[in-house]
A and B are shown apart, each in its own frame.
Chain A
Amino acid sequence: MNNIVELEKIKKTYLQGKVDIPAINNVSLSIKKGGFVAIAGPSGSGKTTLLNIIGGLDQPDSGTVRVDGEKFETLTPSRLAELRLFKIGFVFQAYNLIPVLSAAENVEFVMLLQGIPKKERLRKAHAILDDVGLSGKYNRRPAELSGGQQQRVAVARAIVSNPSIVLADEPTANLDSKTGQGLLELMKTMNKEKKVTFVFSTHDKMVMDYAGRLVRLRDGSIFDDQSK
């Protein structure tokens, strides 16, 4: 099986007051292993919802989601949490680091949840922080790091335990263009060197340019899907 993500006829509607707002409308999408895919579209087009559905953070009203061969609708919440822990990495727009933990501890935390012994956690955390260009900043708390550095820690946390896929929700939205470009270079390198699949939601032109495949959404439907 070559596809890491398989979505079939996904529908998702949100209730806003008494009105149903369709967020995702009959979307089918497959993403290959090792892909560097951007899901683009204006605000409200459904890209974050789609990313959340792929990540198992949100459930579709109908349709089937498969990630790395696991069919979500058959999984218990506990098994879904395990899947997220071992197979999916997340990078959020607002970094979402744990403020009381240092950079290294933030990276370590996912491995702690996975039950990896402390020594190995520490070695891996330092190694991945070196890879993302944060050597010597292991003990800095998030408040002591710039936005770009925090997002690098978030990327390090997402990829440290070799997930099958990393989902990044507008990762460059809070960064200036230079820092954003640096981050994209980093993720591209990780994608090439570590064969990690990246899926972004974005409306940033730069991210779209970096993507190997660009899926465009409008009003909850795919209207364009191009591979470069």
Chain B
Amino acid sequence: MYSQLAWRNIWRNPRRTIVIMTAVIIGVFSMIFLCGLMRGMEVEMIRNNLATLTGNIQIHQKGYRADPVVENSMTDPVLLENAIKTNLPEGAAWAMRVRVNAIVSNARHSTGVTFVGIDPAKEARVSFIGKAVTDGRYLNSDDTNKILIGRALLDKFKTKIGHKLIVMSQDADDEIASTAFRIVGTFRAEMESTEKAYVFVTLSDAQKMLKLKNGISEAAIAFKGQSIDGQKEKALAQKLKSRLPDSIYKVETWPELLPMMREYLSLFDNFIYIWYFVVFIAMGFGIVNTTLMAIFERMREFGLLKALGMKPVSIIRGVITESFFLLVSGIIIGNIAGIITVFLINRTGIDLSALAAGVEMWGMPRVIHPELWIIDVITANLVVLVLGLVVSIYPAAKAARFTPIEALEKT
């Protein structure tokens, strides 16, 4: 009956209830939608960055990351290979690479690039390159002196598939090595900068050119599915560290490899909390104001309830129950609206192409597909419900403080 009373009380003034319920609905909707948008961006950023030759875990020779030169390559990767093979989680893939800075040039242009030697079959499962070829073809493991370059680089060099490019870099003997490679295909990437930054050849070609023998620059491991918090990576990294001599190898997870992005993601989380705060402040004032208005209108009734013998704590409970119904109704509608909107927009995505140049440095996608995380929905609901109930205590306590005499005197 307390519940019935509370439910009927909130509909005594339907217009006012609808106004405050709308505020709750908009608040919850905006929390869920904004979180969806942020998470969509985060997931896409992580996916892009991980696919762009980062992977979930990388292993290098100590010092390579600070100075990625050919001398800091791993000369005998057998131990590393065994360690990875025995600890690789189900569904994960791995690949070894040679990766050095180089100059690529043709008759008209030259530019600095990252020269990557890959095992084409293995690399296709680890990074974006396997699915990124749009013109020509992907590399084969038995290719000799063939190169895959980005579409943007091809355009910049005003060259075409079938033409040659000269790649020049320092080899293991500290000499300048240069080799002519014929373009077999071009790739497209989410970001134009990626298309200009990387050129790919086979691992054996790169080792041969740089006189590395079996040496490699890095090994990358890619997990199946999404990785947001880096916990699975930490666990595998620990296992690998225990198998590899600490003095030679450095095992790093993607949050360690991409510290800037890690910080950027944490900034995203903070934006979400700030938004929660803003929404809640606006809503909290609305709830307090509406509940106070309702209470002062019903002052006489509270006097009656006290005269009948209702204890202050029961009056507080009654008022808070009213707020609870109001909040829960708003939350339910807000959730439905938010979840449906996220699902619908997830299909088509929000096109940020106009801003692509500005955002691509963060690995942000051109089209954002909002993603729904249960934890965000639960948090948004709890924030609104718990804090909404907390702010209702003030008007409830006010109602409980009316003395029967002063309240019954009010008309």
A100 within 8 A of B: yes
Q: Given A52-B405, A98-B301, are A84 and B5 also a contact pair (CB < 8 Å)?
A: no
What residues on B are CB-neighbors of A99 within 8 Å? 12, 301
B307 proximity list for chain A (CB < 8 A): 55, 57, 84, 90
Q: State which of B45-53, B146-154, B308-316 sits at the interface with chain A.
A: B308-316
**Interface 1/0s, chain A 85-96, versus B by CB < 8 A?**
110101010001
When the two chains form their complex, are residues B309 and A81 in contact, meaning their CB atoms are under 8 A apart? Answer: yes
Kindly list chain B residues whose C-beta atoms are within 8 Å of the C-beta of A101.
Answer: 4-5, 8
What separation, in Å, do the CA atoms of A149 and B195 have in the docked complex? 85
A170: CB under 8 A from chain B?
no
| A82 within 8 Å of B (CB atoms) | yes
Q: How many residues on the B side are at the interface (Cβ–Cβ under 8 A)?
A: 22
Distance of A81 Cα from B308 Cα, bound (Å): 8
What is the bound-complex CA distance between A157 and B403, given in angstroms? 21
Q: Give which listed residue, A58, A78, A86, A88, contacts B405 with CB less than 8 A.
A: A58
Q: Tell yes or no: B214 within 8 A of A by CB.
A: no
Given known contacts A57-B404, A92-B408, A108-B1, A81 and B306 CB-to-CB distance under 8 angstroms: yes
The complex places the Cα of A101 from the Cα of B403 at a distance, in Å, of 22
Q: Complex: how many Å from CA A110 to CA B314?
A: 13
CA distance in complex: A86, B311 (Å): 13
B197 at the interface (CB under 8 A from A): no
- Is the beta-carbon distance between A100 and B8 smaller than 8 angstroms? yes
Q: Cβ of A113 < 8 Å from any Cβ of B?
A: yes
**Are B5 and A98 in contact (CB-based, < 8 A)?**
yes
A78–B308 alpha-carbon span in the complex (Å): 12
Which residues of chain A come closer than 8 Å to B8, judged between CB atoms? 100-101
* A-side contacts of B125, CB under 8 Å: none
Q: How far is the CA of A48 from the CA of B408 in the complex (A)?
A: 12
Q: Once the chains bind, are B5 and A81 in contact (CB under 8 Å)?
A: no
Q: Does B300 contact A (CB under 8 A)?
A: yes
In the complex, what residues of B have CB within 8 A of residue A138's CB?
A: none
Question: Do A96 and B304 touch (CB < 8 A)?
Answer: yes
Q: Are A96 and B408 in contact (CB under 8 A)?
A: yes
How far apart sit A105 and B408, CA to CA, in the bound complex (Å)? 21
**Contact in complex: A100, B405 (CB < 8 Å):** no
Given the known interface contacts A99-B12, A100-B9, A101-B8, the answer about A110 and B309 at a Cβ–Cβ threshold of 8 Å is: yes
**Smallest CB gap from B12: residue in A:** A100
Return chain A residues, CB-CB under 8 Å to B305: 98
Contacting residues of chain A (43-75) with chain B, CB-CB under 8 angstroms: 52, 55, 57-58
A112 on interface, CB distance cutoff 8 Å: yes
Question: Is the CB–CB distance between B5 and A100 below 8 Å?
Answer: yes
Query: CA A92 – CA B303 in complex, angstroms?
Result: 12
A110-B308 contact, Cβ under 8 Å, with A57-B404, A92-B408, A96-B408: yes
Q: In this assembly, does A109 line the interface, its C-beta being within 8 Å of a C-beta of chain B?
A: yes
Going nearest first, the 3 A-B pairs with the smallest beta carbon separation are A85-B309, A100-B8, A84-B309
Q: Which residues of A come within 8 Å of B, CB atoms?
A: 52, 55, 57-58, 78, 81-86, 88, 90, 92, 96, 98-101, 105, 108-110, 112-113, 118, 157
